[in-house]
A and B are shown apart, each in its own frame.
Chain A
Protein backbone atom coordinates (compact mmCIF):
# COMPACT_ATOMS: atom_id res chain seq x y z
CA UNK A 1 0.00 0.00 0.00
CA UNK A 2 1.28 3.44 -0.82
CA UNK A 3 -0.12 6.28 1.12
CA UNK A 4 2.94 8.53 1.09
CA UNK A 5 1.98 12.01 0.08
CA UNK A 6 4.03 13.63 -2.62
CA UNK A 7 2.70 16.97 -3.65
CA UNK A 8 2.59 15.92 -7.28
CA UNK A 9 0.37 13.00 -6.33
CA UNK A 10 -2.42 15.36 -5.42
CA UNK A 11 -5.24 16.57 -7.55
CA UNK A 12 -7.53 18.10 -4.97
CA UNK A 13 -6.87 21.70 -4.07
CA UNK A 14 -7.08 23.24 -0.62
CA UNK A 15 -10.43 24.64 -1.62
CA UNK A 16 -11.81 21.21 -2.53
CA UNK A 17 -10.76 19.87 0.87
CA UNK A 18 -12.19 22.89 2.61
CA UNK A 19 -15.51 22.49 0.78
CA UNK A 20 -15.66 18.86 1.90
CA UNK A 21 -14.89 19.88 5.49
CA UNK A 22 -17.74 22.42 5.46
CA UNK A 23 -20.07 19.87 3.93
CA UNK A 24 -19.37 17.50 6.81
CA UNK A 25 -19.63 20.37 9.28
CA UNK A 26 -23.20 21.15 8.21
CA UNK A 27 -24.68 18.07 6.61
CA UNK A 28 -23.30 15.19 8.70
CA UNK A 29 -26.66 14.27 10.17
CA UNK A 30 -29.15 15.39 7.49
CA UNK A 31 -30.41 11.99 6.46
CA UNK A 32 -29.49 10.22 9.70
CA UNK A 33 -31.48 7.01 9.98
CA UNK A 34 -31.23 3.70 11.77
CA UNK A 35 -30.30 1.75 8.63
CA UNK A 36 -27.26 3.70 7.42
CA UNK A 37 -26.86 6.37 10.12
CA UNK A 38 -24.44 8.90 8.56
CA UNK A 39 -23.93 6.96 5.31
CA UNK A 40 -25.63 9.42 2.95
CA UNK A 41 -23.85 12.32 4.63
CA UNK A 42 -20.52 10.57 4.13
CA UNK A 43 -21.09 10.29 0.39
CA UNK A 44 -22.39 13.88 0.31
CA UNK A 45 -19.19 15.10 1.99
CA UNK A 46 -16.80 13.33 -0.36
CA UNK A 47 -18.92 13.77 -3.52
CA UNK A 48 -17.32 17.05 -4.66
CA UNK A 49 -13.81 15.63 -4.46
CA UNK A 50 -14.90 12.42 -6.17
CA UNK A 51 -16.48 14.33 -9.05
CA UNK A 52 -13.20 16.13 -9.63
CA UNK A 53 -11.09 12.97 -9.28
CA UNK A 54 -13.15 10.90 -11.69
CA UNK A 55 -14.16 13.59 -14.16
CA UNK A 56 -15.94 11.90 -17.05
CA UNK A 57 -15.37 8.40 -15.67
CA UNK A 58 -19.00 7.77 -14.71
CA UNK A 59 -18.32 4.18 -13.72
CA UNK A 60 -15.49 5.11 -11.36
CA UNK A 61 -17.57 7.89 -9.82
CA UNK A 62 -20.53 5.59 -9.41
CA UNK A 63 -18.43 2.98 -7.62
CA UNK A 64 -16.81 5.57 -5.40
CA UNK A 65 -20.17 7.10 -4.41
CA UNK A 66 -21.67 3.71 -3.75
CA UNK A 67 -18.86 2.52 -1.49
CA UNK A 68 -19.19 5.70 0.57
CA UNK A 69 -22.95 5.33 1.01
CA UNK A 70 -22.64 2.30 3.27
CA UNK A 71 -23.39 2.32 6.99
CA UNK A 72 -21.27 4.79 8.88
CA UNK A 73 -21.77 5.97 12.42
CA UNK A 74 -19.51 7.88 14.74
CA UNK A 75 -19.61 10.93 16.96
CA UNK A 76 -19.68 13.43 14.09
CA UNK A 77 -17.76 16.23 15.78
CA UNK A 78 -14.56 14.46 16.82
CA UNK A 79 -15.23 11.89 14.10
CA UNK A 80 -14.88 14.52 11.35
CA UNK A 81 -11.29 13.31 11.04
CA UNK A 82 -12.55 10.08 9.43
CA UNK A 83 -14.11 11.53 6.23
CA UNK A 84 -10.94 13.66 6.02
CA UNK A 85 -8.80 10.53 5.98
CA UNK A 86 -11.19 8.92 3.50
CA UNK A 87 -10.87 11.84 1.12
CA UNK A 88 -7.08 11.42 1.09
CA UNK A 89 -7.40 7.67 0.55
CA UNK A 90 -9.95 8.14 -2.24
CA UNK A 91 -7.55 10.55 -3.90
CA UNK A 92 -4.67 8.07 -3.67
CA UNK A 93 -6.87 5.37 -5.11
CA UNK A 94 -8.26 7.46 -7.96
CA UNK A 95 -4.82 8.66 -9.01
CA UNK A 96 -3.08 5.35 -8.60
CA UNK A 97 -5.57 2.48 -8.63
CA UNK A 98 -2.90 -0.18 -9.13
CA UNK A 99 -1.02 0.50 -5.93
CA UNK A 100 -4.03 1.07 -3.70
CA UNK A 101 -7.15 -0.87 -2.99
CA UNK A 102 -10.64 -0.06 -1.87
CA UNK A 103 -10.54 -2.51 0.99
CA UNK A 104 -8.18 -0.35 2.99
CA UNK A 105 -10.63 2.54 2.74
CA UNK A 106 -13.49 0.46 4.08
CA UNK A 107 -11.44 -1.06 6.86
CA UNK A 108 -10.04 2.32 7.90
CA UNK A 109 -13.54 3.72 8.26
CA UNK A 110 -14.75 0.68 10.12
CA UNK A 111 -11.76 0.58 12.44
CA UNK A 112 -12.01 4.25 13.37
CA UNK A 113 -15.72 4.91 13.73
CA UNK A 114 -16.17 2.86 16.89
CA UNK A 115 -13.25 4.21 18.94
CA UNK A 116 -14.00 7.78 17.83
CA UNK A 117 -17.65 7.43 18.73
CA UNK A 118 -16.46 6.32 22.16
CA UNK A 119 -14.05 9.22 22.59
CA UNK A 120 -16.49 11.76 21.19
CA UNK A 121 -19.46 10.59 23.22
CA UNK A 122 -17.54 10.40 26.47
CA UNK A 123 -15.29 13.45 26.11
CA UNK A 124 -17.17 15.95 24.01
CA UNK A 125 -20.85 15.19 24.39
CA UNK A 126 -20.61 13.44 27.76
CA UNK A 127 -18.15 15.73 29.53
CA UNK A 128 -17.37 19.04 27.79
CA UNK A 129 -21.00 19.76 26.89
CA UNK A 130 -22.29 19.11 30.45
CA UNK A 131 -19.40 21.13 31.96
CA UNK A 132 -20.28 24.16 29.85
CA UNK A 133 -23.98 23.59 30.53
CA UNK A 134 -23.26 23.39 34.26
CA UNK A 135 -21.36 26.66 34.19
CA UNK A 136 -24.27 28.12 32.21
CA UNK A 137 -26.80 26.81 34.74
CA UNK A 138 -24.70 28.32 37.53
CA UNK A 139 -24.67 31.71 35.80
CA UNK A 140 -28.38 31.59 34.96
CA UNK A 141 -29.59 30.50 38.39
CA UNK A 142 -31.53 33.68 39.15
CA UNK A 143 -33.09 33.82 35.68
CA UNK A 144 -30.33 35.75 33.95
CA UNK A 145 -29.80 34.95 30.25
CA UNK A 146 -25.99 35.24 30.59
CA UNK A 147 -25.52 31.54 31.33
CA UNK A 148 -27.46 30.33 28.30
CA UNK A 149 -25.55 32.73 26.05
CA UNK A 150 -22.24 31.71 27.64
CA UNK A 151 -22.96 28.05 26.99
CA UNK A 152 -23.91 28.51 23.35
CA UNK A 153 -21.02 30.84 22.50
CA UNK A 154 -18.30 28.84 24.27
CA UNK A 155 -19.54 25.51 22.89
CA UNK A 156 -19.60 26.80 19.32
CA UNK A 157 -16.25 28.57 19.72
CA UNK A 158 -14.59 25.33 20.82
CA UNK A 159 -16.31 22.73 18.66
CA UNK A 160 -16.78 24.43 15.28
CA UNK A 161 -13.07 25.15 14.71
CA UNK A 162 -12.16 21.75 16.15
CA UNK A 163 -14.49 19.95 13.77
CA UNK A 164 -13.05 21.81 10.78
CA UNK A 165 -9.44 21.38 11.90
CA UNK A 166 -9.82 17.64 12.48
CA UNK A 167 -11.22 17.12 8.98
CA UNK A 168 -8.33 19.01 7.36
CA UNK A 169 -5.85 17.18 9.61
CA UNK A 170 -7.36 13.88 8.59
CA UNK A 171 -6.88 14.72 4.92
CA UNK A 172 -3.34 16.01 5.40
CA UNK A 173 -2.16 13.04 7.39
CA UNK A 174 -4.09 10.32 5.58
CA UNK A 175 -3.43 7.00 7.25
CA UNK A 176 -0.87 8.66 9.55
CA UNK A 177 -3.82 10.30 11.31
CA UNK A 178 -4.49 6.94 12.90
CA UNK A 179 -1.37 7.53 15.03
CA UNK A 180 -2.75 10.85 16.20
CA UNK A 181 -5.98 9.22 17.23
CA UNK A 182 -4.32 6.33 19.00
CA UNK A 183 -2.01 8.50 21.08
CA UNK A 184 -3.00 7.03 24.44
CA UNK A 185 -0.94 9.41 26.53
CA UNK A 186 -2.44 12.54 25.02
CA UNK A 187 -5.90 11.01 25.24
CA UNK A 188 -5.43 10.15 28.92
CA UNK A 189 -4.16 13.63 29.70
CA UNK A 190 -7.15 15.29 28.08
CA UNK A 191 -9.58 12.82 29.62
CA UNK A 192 -8.23 13.17 33.15
CA UNK A 193 -8.09 16.94 33.13
CA UNK A 194 -11.56 17.32 31.62
CA UNK A 195 -12.96 14.74 34.03
CA UNK A 196 -11.50 16.48 37.08
CA UNK A 197 -12.58 19.96 36.03
CA UNK A 198 -15.97 18.56 35.10
CA UNK A 199 -16.65 16.70 38.32
CA UNK A 200 -15.74 19.64 40.57
CA UNK A 201 -17.73 22.20 38.57
CA UNK A 202 -20.68 19.87 38.13
CA UNK A 203 -20.62 19.11 41.87
CA UNK A 204 -20.77 22.83 42.61
CA UNK A 205 -23.63 23.50 40.20
CA UNK A 206 -25.52 20.44 41.41
CA UNK A 207 -25.38 21.87 44.94
CA UNK A 208 -27.20 24.96 43.67
CA UNK A 209 -29.73 23.08 41.57
CA UNK A 210 -30.81 19.99 43.49
CA UNK A 211 -33.08 21.00 46.32
CA UNK A 212 -34.87 19.10 49.07
CA UNK A 213 -36.07 21.60 51.66
CA UNK A 214 -37.62 20.22 54.84
CA UNK A 215 -40.66 22.05 56.19
CA UNK A 216 -41.07 19.87 59.25
CA UNK A 217 -40.52 21.63 62.55
CA UNK A 218 -41.18 20.66 66.15
CA UNK A 219 -42.86 22.91 68.61
CA UNK A 220 -41.57 22.58 72.12
CA UNK A 221 -42.97 25.26 74.36
CA UNK A 222 -42.03 28.57 72.80
CA UNK A 223 -39.14 27.11 70.90
CA UNK A 224 -39.45 25.88 67.30
CA UNK A 225 -36.95 23.29 66.26
CA UNK A 226 -36.60 23.24 62.47
CA UNK A 227 -35.21 20.04 61.08
CA UNK A 228 -33.80 21.95 58.12
CA UNK A 229 -31.74 24.13 60.47
CA UNK A 230 -30.28 21.06 62.13
CA UNK A 231 -29.28 19.70 58.74
CA UNK A 232 -27.82 23.05 57.74
CA UNK A 233 -25.66 23.05 60.86
CA UNK A 234 -24.13 19.75 59.83
CA UNK A 235 -23.57 20.96 56.28
CA UNK A 236 -25.52 23.20 53.92
CA UNK A 237 -27.52 21.25 51.33
CA UNK A 238 -26.65 17.90 52.90
CA UNK A 239 -29.92 16.16 52.09
CA UNK A 240 -29.81 16.97 48.35
CA UNK A 241 -26.26 15.59 48.27
CA UNK A 242 -27.46 12.37 49.87
CA UNK A 243 -30.34 12.07 47.38
CA UNK A 244 -27.91 12.60 44.48
CA UNK A 245 -25.34 10.11 45.73
CA UNK A 246 -28.00 7.49 46.49
CA UNK A 247 -29.40 7.93 42.97
CA UNK A 248 -25.88 7.50 41.59
CA UNK A 249 -25.34 4.35 43.64
CA UNK A 250 -28.62 2.88 42.42
CA UNK A 251 -27.66 3.49 38.80
CA UNK A 252 -24.04 2.46 39.18
CA UNK A 253 -24.23 -0.46 41.58
CA UNK A 254 -27.78 -1.76 41.32
CA UNK A 255 -27.95 -1.02 37.59
CA UNK A 256 -31.26 0.81 37.92
CA UNK A 257 -32.41 2.54 34.75
CA UNK A 258 -32.78 6.31 34.76
CA UNK A 259 -36.56 5.91 34.51
CA UNK A 260 -36.65 3.67 37.55
CA UNK A 261 -34.68 6.22 39.58
CA UNK A 262 -37.03 8.93 38.28
CA UNK A 263 -40.05 7.08 39.59
CA UNK A 264 -38.19 6.38 42.82
CA UNK A 265 -37.46 10.06 43.41
CA UNK A 266 -41.05 11.06 42.58
CA UNK A 267 -42.45 8.44 44.98
CA UNK A 268 -40.08 9.65 47.69
CA UNK A 269 -41.13 13.27 47.02
CA UNK A 270 -44.83 12.33 47.09
CA UNK A 271 -44.33 10.51 50.37
CA UNK A 272 -42.49 13.44 51.94
CA UNK A 273 -45.20 15.88 50.83
CA UNK A 274 -47.99 13.57 52.05
CA UNK A 275 -46.31 13.24 55.44
CA UNK A 276 -45.85 17.04 55.44
CA UNK A 277 -42.11 16.61 55.94
CA UNK A 278 -41.33 18.68 52.85
Chain B
Protein backbone atom coordinates (compact mmCIF):
# COMPACT_ATOMS: atom_id res chain seq x y z
CA UNK B 1 0.00 0.00 0.00
CA UNK B 2 1.22 3.47 -0.91
CA UNK B 3 1.71 5.97 1.90
CA UNK B 4 -0.86 8.36 0.40
CA UNK B 5 -3.42 5.57 0.33
CA UNK B 6 -2.80 4.70 3.96
CA UNK B 7 -3.05 8.37 4.90
CA UNK B 8 -6.25 8.92 2.97
CA UNK B 9 -7.88 5.88 4.59
CA UNK B 10 -6.62 7.13 7.95
CA UNK B 11 -8.23 10.50 7.26
CA UNK B 12 -11.60 8.92 6.50
CA UNK B 13 -11.30 6.72 9.59
CA UNK B 14 -10.97 9.95 11.58
CA UNK B 15 -13.91 11.52 9.73
CA UNK B 16 -16.04 8.54 10.66
CA UNK B 17 -15.17 8.77 14.30
CA UNK B 18 -17.30 10.01 17.16
CA UNK B 19 -15.87 13.43 18.04
CA UNK B 20 -15.73 14.90 14.55
CA UNK B 21 -17.60 18.00 13.42
CA UNK B 22 -16.83 18.13 9.70
CA UNK B 23 -19.64 16.04 8.20
CA UNK B 24 -22.69 17.40 10.04
CA UNK B 25 -21.34 16.05 13.32
CA UNK B 26 -22.07 12.41 14.01
CA UNK B 27 -24.78 12.33 11.33
CA UNK B 28 -22.41 12.21 8.38
CA UNK B 29 -19.44 11.10 10.48
CA UNK B 30 -19.96 8.32 12.98
CA UNK B 31 -23.37 7.31 11.58
CA UNK B 32 -22.38 8.05 7.97
CA UNK B 33 -18.87 7.39 6.66
CA UNK B 34 -18.13 5.51 9.89
CA UNK B 35 -20.49 2.69 8.90
CA UNK B 36 -18.56 -0.26 7.43
CA UNK B 37 -20.81 -0.28 4.33
CA UNK B 38 -19.74 3.27 3.43
CA UNK B 39 -16.17 2.59 4.60
CA UNK B 40 -16.08 -0.30 2.12
CA UNK B 41 -16.99 2.04 -0.74
CA UNK B 42 -14.45 4.70 0.29
CA UNK B 43 -11.65 2.17 0.81
CA UNK B 44 -12.56 0.46 -2.45
CA UNK B 45 -12.20 3.76 -4.32
CA UNK B 46 -8.87 4.60 -2.63
CA UNK B 47 -7.43 1.14 -3.28
CA UNK B 48 -8.88 1.07 -6.78
CA UNK B 49 -11.01 -2.03 -6.23
CA UNK B 50 -14.54 -0.83 -5.55
CA UNK B 51 -16.16 -4.23 -5.82
CA UNK B 52 -13.85 -5.86 -3.27
CA UNK B 53 -14.32 -2.89 -0.97
CA UNK B 54 -18.11 -3.06 -1.15
CA UNK B 55 -18.22 -6.84 -0.65
CA UNK B 56 -16.01 -6.57 2.42
CA UNK B 57 -18.02 -3.57 3.62
CA UNK B 58 -21.28 -5.52 3.34
CA UNK B 59 -19.84 -8.49 5.23
CA UNK B 60 -18.42 -6.39 8.07
CA UNK B 61 -21.52 -4.20 8.22
CA UNK B 62 -23.83 -7.17 8.67
CA UNK B 63 -22.01 -8.26 11.83
CA UNK B 64 -22.20 -4.81 13.39
CA UNK B 65 -25.62 -3.81 12.10
CA UNK B 66 -27.36 -3.93 15.47
CA UNK B 67 -24.91 -1.77 17.31
CA UNK B 68 -25.95 1.42 19.03
CA UNK B 69 -23.85 3.46 21.41
CA UNK B 70 -25.59 4.00 24.72
CA UNK B 71 -23.95 6.83 26.63
CA UNK B 72 -20.89 6.83 24.41
CA UNK B 73 -19.76 3.42 25.62
CA UNK B 74 -18.91 1.43 22.53
CA UNK B 75 -19.68 -2.30 22.61
CA UNK B 76 -17.30 -2.73 19.67
CA UNK B 77 -15.40 -0.13 17.66
CA UNK B 78 -16.74 -0.77 14.18
CA UNK B 79 -14.85 2.22 12.82
CA UNK B 80 -11.44 0.70 13.56
CA UNK B 81 -12.79 -2.71 12.55
CA UNK B 82 -13.78 -1.42 9.12
CA UNK B 83 -10.99 1.04 8.37
CA UNK B 84 -8.18 -1.39 9.23
CA UNK B 85 -9.86 -4.74 8.57
CA UNK B 86 -11.19 -4.02 5.10
CA UNK B 87 -8.06 -2.42 3.52
CA UNK B 88 -5.70 -5.01 5.01
CA UNK B 89 -7.86 -7.81 3.66
CA UNK B 90 -7.97 -6.20 0.21
CA UNK B 91 -4.24 -5.49 -0.16
CA UNK B 92 -3.40 -8.95 1.17
CA UNK B 93 -5.49 -10.42 -1.62
CA UNK B 94 -8.03 -11.75 0.83
CA UNK B 95 -11.78 -11.65 0.37
CA UNK B 96 -14.69 -10.45 2.48
CA UNK B 97 -14.29 -13.41 4.88
CA UNK B 98 -10.78 -12.20 5.66
CA UNK B 99 -12.03 -8.68 6.32
CA UNK B 100 -14.51 -10.12 8.83
CA UNK B 101 -11.80 -12.20 10.48
CA UNK B 102 -9.66 -9.07 10.93
CA UNK B 103 -12.55 -6.80 11.85
CA UNK B 104 -13.85 -8.73 14.85
CA UNK B 105 -10.69 -8.59 17.01
CA UNK B 106 -9.96 -5.02 15.81
CA UNK B 107 -13.42 -4.01 16.98
CA UNK B 108 -12.59 -5.23 20.47
CA UNK B 109 -9.18 -3.53 20.43
CA UNK B 110 -10.77 -0.28 19.30
CA UNK B 111 -12.95 -0.12 22.40
CA UNK B 112 -9.86 0.32 24.57
CA UNK B 113 -8.67 3.19 22.34
CA UNK B 114 -12.10 4.76 22.40
CA UNK B 115 -12.25 4.64 26.20
CA UNK B 116 -8.80 6.19 26.46
CA UNK B 117 -9.76 9.08 24.16
CA UNK B 118 -13.08 9.62 25.92
CA UNK B 119 -11.24 9.89 29.23
CA UNK B 120 -8.39 12.15 28.14
CA UNK B 121 -10.79 14.41 26.24
CA UNK B 122 -12.23 15.73 29.51
CA UNK B 123 -9.28 18.15 29.58
CA UNK B 124 -11.03 20.38 27.01
CA UNK B 125 -14.08 20.68 29.22
CA UNK B 126 -11.81 21.91 32.00
CA UNK B 127 -10.15 24.37 29.64
CA UNK B 128 -13.64 25.62 28.76
CA UNK B 129 -14.47 25.97 32.47
CA UNK B 130 -11.51 28.28 32.94
CA UNK B 131 -12.50 30.60 30.10
CA UNK B 132 -16.18 30.50 31.03
CA UNK B 133 -15.22 31.86 34.43
CA UNK B 134 -13.61 34.79 32.64
CA UNK B 135 -16.65 35.25 30.43
CA UNK B 136 -14.69 34.47 27.27
CA UNK B 137 -17.22 32.84 24.93
CA UNK B 138 -14.78 32.61 22.03
CA UNK B 139 -12.30 30.53 24.01
CA UNK B 140 -15.15 28.27 25.18
CA UNK B 141 -15.95 27.58 21.53
CA UNK B 142 -12.28 26.97 20.77
CA UNK B 143 -12.04 24.55 23.70
CA UNK B 144 -14.92 22.52 22.32
CA UNK B 145 -13.37 22.53 18.84
CA UNK B 146 -10.00 21.41 20.18
CA UNK B 147 -11.76 18.32 21.46
CA UNK B 148 -11.49 16.83 17.99
CA UNK B 149 -7.66 16.96 18.15
CA UNK B 150 -7.00 13.86 20.25
CA UNK B 151 -9.43 11.71 18.24
CA UNK B 152 -7.63 12.93 15.10
CA UNK B 153 -4.19 11.96 16.38
CA UNK B 154 -5.53 8.66 17.70
CA UNK B 155 -7.52 7.56 14.66
CA UNK B 156 -5.53 9.05 11.78
CA UNK B 157 -2.25 8.06 13.37
CA UNK B 158 -3.09 4.49 14.28
CA UNK B 159 -4.95 3.63 11.09
CA UNK B 160 -2.34 5.17 8.79
CA UNK B 161 0.60 3.54 10.57
CA UNK B 162 -1.06 0.15 10.88
CA UNK B 163 -2.00 0.09 7.21
CA UNK B 164 1.34 1.37 5.95
CA UNK B 165 3.51 -0.84 8.13
CA UNK B 166 1.13 -3.78 8.48
CA UNK B 167 0.10 -4.42 4.89
CA UNK B 168 3.11 -6.58 4.10
CA UNK B 169 2.78 -8.49 7.33
CA UNK B 170 -0.93 -9.12 6.82
CA UNK B 171 -0.23 -10.32 3.30
CA UNK B 172 2.35 -12.85 4.46
CA UNK B 173 0.08 -14.11 7.24
CA UNK B 174 -2.96 -14.43 5.02
CA UNK B 175 -1.08 -16.14 2.20
CA UNK B 176 0.35 -18.71 4.60
CA UNK B 177 -2.95 -19.68 6.23
CA UNK B 178 -3.71 -23.42 5.98
CA UNK B 179 -6.76 -24.59 4.05
CA UNK B 180 -8.67 -25.58 7.17
CA UNK B 181 -8.43 -22.06 8.54
CA UNK B 182 -9.55 -20.60 5.22
CA UNK B 183 -12.55 -22.95 5.15
CA UNK B 184 -13.34 -22.04 8.73
CA UNK B 185 -13.15 -18.31 7.98
CA UNK B 186 -15.38 -18.71 4.95
CA UNK B 187 -18.06 -20.54 6.92
CA UNK B 188 -17.72 -18.59 10.18
CA UNK B 189 -17.50 -15.21 8.46
CA UNK B 190 -20.82 -15.68 6.69
CA UNK B 191 -22.52 -17.21 9.71
CA UNK B 192 -21.44 -14.35 11.99
CA UNK B 193 -23.88 -12.07 10.19
CA UNK B 194 -26.52 -13.98 12.19
CA UNK B 195 -25.13 -12.30 15.31
CA UNK B 196 -25.56 -8.81 13.87
CA UNK B 197 -29.18 -9.44 13.00
CA UNK B 198 -29.86 -11.18 16.32
CA UNK B 199 -28.56 -8.15 18.24
CA UNK B 200 -30.65 -5.88 16.04
CA UNK B 201 -33.76 -8.03 16.60
CA UNK B 202 -33.21 -7.94 20.33
CA UNK B 203 -33.05 -4.17 20.12
CA UNK B 204 -36.06 -3.50 17.90
CA UNK B 205 -38.51 -6.17 19.05
CA UNK B 206 -40.57 -4.93 21.98
CA UNK B 207 -43.35 -7.51 21.85
CA UNK B 208 -42.67 -11.16 21.09
CA UNK B 209 -45.11 -11.42 18.14
CA UNK B 210 -42.95 -8.94 16.23
CA UNK B 211 -40.37 -11.66 15.56
CA UNK B 212 -42.90 -13.06 13.09
CA UNK B 213 -42.45 -9.91 10.98
CA UNK B 214 -38.73 -10.62 10.72
CA UNK B 215 -39.50 -14.20 9.72
CA UNK B 216 -42.08 -12.90 7.21
CA UNK B 217 -39.49 -10.68 5.55
CA UNK B 218 -36.98 -13.51 5.54
CA UNK B 219 -39.35 -16.11 4.05
CA UNK B 220 -40.79 -13.78 1.41
CA UNK B 221 -37.31 -12.71 0.31
CA UNK B 222 -35.78 -16.18 0.33
CA UNK B 223 -38.70 -17.75 -1.49
CA UNK B 224 -39.52 -15.14 -4.13
CA UNK B 225 -36.16 -13.44 -4.62
CA UNK B 226 -37.57 -9.92 -4.63
CA UNK B 227 -35.46 -6.79 -4.88
CA UNK B 228 -34.97 -4.89 -1.62
CA UNK B 229 -37.10 -2.02 -2.92
CA UNK B 230 -40.01 -4.37 -3.64
CA UNK B 231 -39.76 -5.79 -0.14
CA UNK B 232 -39.62 -2.26 1.28
CA UNK B 233 -42.93 -1.40 -0.42
CA UNK B 234 -44.57 -4.53 0.97
CA UNK B 235 -43.24 -3.62 4.42
CA UNK B 236 -44.65 -0.09 4.17
CA UNK B 237 -48.05 -1.51 3.19
CA UNK B 238 -48.06 -3.81 6.21
CA UNK B 239 -47.04 -0.92 8.48
CA UNK B 240 -49.84 1.28 7.13
CA UNK B 241 -52.38 -1.49 7.71
CA UNK B 242 -51.17 -1.85 11.27
CA UNK B 243 -51.22 1.87 12.01
CA UNK B 244 -54.69 2.22 10.45
CA UNK B 245 -56.02 -0.69 12.47
CA UNK B 246 -54.46 0.37 15.75
CA UNK B 247 -54.81 4.13 15.71
CA UNK B 248 -57.80 4.54 13.38
CA UNK B 249 -58.61 7.88 11.85
CA UNK B 250 -59.22 9.67 15.09
CA UNK B 251 -56.91 12.67 14.92
CA UNK B 252 -58.15 14.11 18.19
CA UNK B 253 -55.72 12.06 20.20
CA UNK B 254 -52.80 13.65 18.43
CA UNK B 255 -52.82 16.51 20.89
CA UNK B 256 -50.43 15.20 23.43
CA UNK B 257 -50.80 14.08 26.96
CA UNK B 258 -47.91 15.32 28.97
CA UNK B 259 -45.94 12.37 30.18
CA UNK B 260 -42.65 14.14 30.54
CA UNK B 261 -42.94 16.94 33.01
CA UNK B 262 -40.10 19.34 33.48
CA UNK B 263 -40.01 18.28 37.07
CA UNK B 264 -38.31 15.22 35.72
CA UNK B 265 -39.32 13.14 38.70
CA UNK B 266 -36.66 14.59 40.97
CA UNK B 267 -37.59 15.91 44.33
CA UNK B 268 -36.96 19.60 43.99
CA UNK B 269 -39.79 21.36 42.25
CA UNK B 270 -39.71 24.63 44.07
CA UNK B 271 -39.54 26.60 40.88
CA UNK B 272 -43.17 25.81 40.22
CA UNK B 273 -44.40 28.33 42.74
List residues of A whose CB falls within 8 A of some B CB. 1, 24-37, 39-41, 43-44, 47-48, 50-51, 58-59, 61-62, 65-66, 69, 73, 76-77, 101, 103-104, 107-108, 110-112, 115, 117, 121-122, 125-127, 129-130, 133-141, 143-145, 147-149, 151-152, 155-156, 159-160, 163, 175, 178-186, 188-189, 192-213, 235-237, 240-241, 243-245, 247-248, 250-252, 258-259, 261-262, 265-266, 268-270, 272-274, 278
Contacts and interface: CB of A to CB of B under 8 A. Distances in A.
Contact of A47 (B141, B197, B265, B268): B141
A107 B263 CA distance: 7
Contacts of B227: 138
Interface in B240-262: 240, 242-243, 246-247, 253-262
Contacts of A129: 31, 35
B41 interface: yes
A179 B214 contact: no
B199 A196 contact: no
B187 A272 contact: yes
14 contacts: A26-B22, A31-B121, A33-B119, A41-B144, A137-B65, A151-B35, A155-B31, A160-B27, A182-B258, A195-B205, A196-B238, A201-B217, A209-B193, A247-B198
Contacts of B246: 192
B210 interface: yes
A200 B256 contact: no
B205 to A, nearest CB: 7
A145 B204 contact: no
Given A40-B147, A76-B25, A143 B55 contact: yes
Interface in B8-52: 18-22, 24-28, 30-33, 35, 37-38, 40-41, 44, 50-52
B153 interface: no
Interface string B72-113: 100110000000000000000000000000001000100000
B3 interface: no
Residue from A27, A139, A270 whose CB has the most chain B CB atoms within 10 Å: A27
Contacts of B135: 58-59, 61-62, 65
B236 to A, nearest CB: 6
The list of the 3 closest CB pairs from A to B, nearest first, reads A31-B147, A203-B217, A111-B264
Interface stretch (B123-131, B159-167, B168-176): B123-131
Contact of A36 (B125, B231, B262, B271): B125
A62 B140 CA distance: 10
Contacts of B220: 200, 204
Contact of A31 (B125, B132, B210): B125
Interface of B: 18-22, 24-28, 30-33, 35, 37-38, 40-41, 44, 50-52, 54-55, 57-58, 61-62, 65-66, 68-72, 75-76, 104, 108, 115, 118-122, 124-125, 128-129, 131-135, 137-138, 140-141, 143-148, 180, 183-184, 187-188, 190-195, 197-206, 210-211, 213-223, 226-229, 231-232, 234-236, 238-240, 242-243, 246-247, 253-266, 268-272
Given A33-B125, A193-B239, A258 B144 contact: no
B214 A199 contact: yes
Given A30-B148, A178-B262, A137 B61 contact: yes
Nearest to B234: A200
A140 to B, nearest CB: 5
Given A62-B134, A149-B41, A207-B221, A33 B124 contact: yes
A241 B269 CA distance: 52
Residue from A48, A103, A240, A262 whose CB has the most chain B CB atoms within 10 Å: A262
A31 B187 CA distance: 41
Contacts of B41: 145, 148-149
Given A40-B124, A273-B180, A182 B54 contact: no
B256 A184 contact: yes
Contacts of B191: 210-212, 240, 243, 265, 268-269
Contacts of B66: 126, 130
Contacts of A110: 264, 266
